[in-house]
Structure 1
Amino acid sequence: MSLEEYKKKRKFNKTPEPKGEIKKKKKNLFVVQKHNASNLHYDFRIELNGVLKSWAVPKGPSLNPSQRRLAVETEDHPIDYAEFEGVIPEDEYGGGYVIVWDLGTFKNITKKDDKEISLNQAYDDGHITILLNGTRLKGEFALIKTKREDQWLLIKKGDSEANRDINIIEEYQDSVLSNKTIDDLKKAKKGNLDKFL
């Protein structure tokens, strides 16, 4: 786990994204950021070994257990990124608009042969089961690695928090931190963006 790839892709004199360092304190944070870059997607991140392991989820998370969402693993991000909202300049990596769509904590509940295993082992095995406690996402979710490199599936488990009738990404468009939407960010004048956020 390292932030070398994250730092290599960014020019911190141009982007407002946090430089960040590997954090030693464990909080078990998870965050989902709505990211309108070249394509709109949702970045699903969980804390592991002082960084945020990250996956780009093109269709966003679902509460419906029958919907398997493609989750493409991306570079590790710093823990400080969990509360990042703002505008990444167009000519920079990931250029576009970012809001914190959900934020909370999680508990690793992954089992193998009916025994609990560490999150590190679950990640290495390519099968993670976590219990989310966010504002919008709650209950059990699984991340399962496919045979294709860097491709995983994000799946809601069939628990009491599952809901086949609601499209949660259509239902909630705003940030859980600022209550702003991507459209609000687009409308904000560049000079007033810091005040706006």
Structure 2
Amino acid sequence: MTADTTLRRSPLGHLADVFAEHSTTGERSVRLREVPFLAQLDLQLYPRSAAVERIASALGEPLPTAPDTAVQAGDLRVLWLGPQQWLLIGPDGSAPATADLLNAALESEPGSVVDVSANRTTLELAGPAARQVLEKGCALDLHPRTFGPGRCAQTLLSKVNVILHQVDAEPTYRLLVRGSFAQYLADWLLDAMEEYRQPPLAP
């Protein structure tokens, strides 16, 4: 482990035990944790550029072109953020190699690759009650008929800008939030989860 990694502190690392304490099991379960230090690369280029095909070949998957969708490309998740913008999310430490791969594929085409890993941390909310928790503060229709695995959106959750990504059908959601808002959002989620720590009311 290098000095750089030993000195790193995630915005919510001090809440790991609190997240575990508030997570529940059973039919109404919901779990919360931080997934810190994910590599995040902002890719911008013209969607009809020849570089799009080269990037698809390098990644092993085409860039998603449908609004608010995401694809899995090996260890990377690629999220559509706009007609000319994507966010690539990968394991801790993978940003330099991914940036090199994308820049090589761009060649001389107009475009940019920017490492934005330090801008956001990631909260993961999972379990049968996860959707109900999010619906307390998010105006999006999160019903599975409209928002399921492979969907993403830039939205507001309790007045905080987040990138919301559903990664599986459990459901499991990942919330990418700027570090300066992470504590507020974590506190809001913990409060929204509180009712699921109690047994349901008798009919």
Larger radius of gyration: 2
Per residue, is there more strand in 1 or in 2?
A: 1
The structure that is helix-richer by fraction is 2
Give the alignment's TM-score, normalised by structure 1: 0.29
Q: Using structure 2 for the length normalisation, give the TM-score.
A: 0.28
